[in-house]
Structure 1
C-alpha cells in the first residue's frame, strides 16, 4: 500500500489479471482458470530450469 493507503499492484499482478479477463472472455470457468494459471506457472519454472541447465552443460563442454 502507498502512504495514503492506496493498494498498489505490480506489473505481474496486472498481467495476471489481464490473463484472467481474457480466459473468462473465452468462457473458461474459475476452476479452469486456476488450473491454467498453475500450469503456466509450472511451465515458466521448467523453462527457466531448462535454460539454466543448458547454460551449465555448455559451460562444462567448454571446459573440456
Structure 2
C-alpha cells in the first residue's frame, strides 16, 4: 500500500487560481465575473457593474442603507 490518496491516480494536480478561472471563462465562454469593489476599475466602471448587477439580479442585500 502506498498511503492515503484523496483523488484517483491522474485526477490530482494543478489547481488554477480564481483570476485564471475568470480569465478563461471570459475568453472561452464569454462569461464575465467581476467584483464591484475591484481596485482595477474606475468609479464609473464600478458603478456600471453595480447597475448591471441590480438590473439582472436585483439589488444587493445590505444590512442597512446609509443616506
**TM-score band w.r.t. shorter chain:** 0.3 to 0.5
Return the TM-score normalized by structure 1: 0.34
Return the TM-score normalized by structure 2: 0.33
Structure (1 or 2) with the greater helix fraction: 1
Question: 1 or 2 for the larger relative contact order (CA 8 Å, sep ≥6)?
Answer: 2
